[in-house]
Amino acid sequence: MDKFLENLEEAGKIISIADHMLYVTFPLIKDKNLLLKILSDTKIAISKCISSVLQYEYFYKRIKLCSDPKTNFRTFEEKCTKRYNITEQEIRLIAELFDVVEEHKKSSMEFMKNEKVVILSENLQQKIVPIEKVREFLALAKNILKKSEKQF
């Protein structure tokens, strides 16, 4: 039972640090690596919230979990979002954030241009992430954390 509360607490700390990096540190430094770190940390925080919800629901035998994270995310999407008031738009944003972080991991190069991070794939496809999108992802993480905490 403590594991899902521990995950939420960790997610809260990660979000707090990412918020400080985005709104205090980044305007001073303006480094692409900092924005990429914020994106990665935001994904980790949302993953911890989702994991916490799944563990809680599993504990009360409302869902079944498996070893595949994609299947567990589908379970979260199909069976948990209504109970936690998570909207379709929020699910789309979560999926988009996960895709951006995955593209960054696979990318051969990234650079900054006009407060936007440009991630280049191996075949030179561009993924542009403006700072406004990073702020939107961070706001999403805060919202998901709040919604997750309400149920406990």
- Residue 107: CA atoms inside 13 Å, Cβ hemisphere, count? 20
| pLDDT digits 0-9 by tens, 53-109 | 999 999 999 999 999 999 999 999 999 999 999 999 999 999 999 999 999 999 989
Enumerate the domain spans of the chain.
Answer: 2-101+133-150
The confidence score (pLDDT) of residue 121 equals 87
Tokens of 39: 């994106």
**Which runs of consecutive H residues, i.e. helices, occur in 21-130?**
26-29, 32-59, 69-75, 88-106
CATH architecture of residue range(s) 2-101+133-150: Up-down Bundle (1.20)
Cα–Cα distance for residue pair 140/124, rounded to 1 Å: 29
Judge whether 22 and 134 are in contact, CB under 8 Å: yes
- For the chain, give the percent of residues with pLDDT over 90: 90
The confidence score (pLDDT) of residue 152 equals 74
3-state secondary structure of 152: coil
- Write down the pTM of the prediction: 0.94
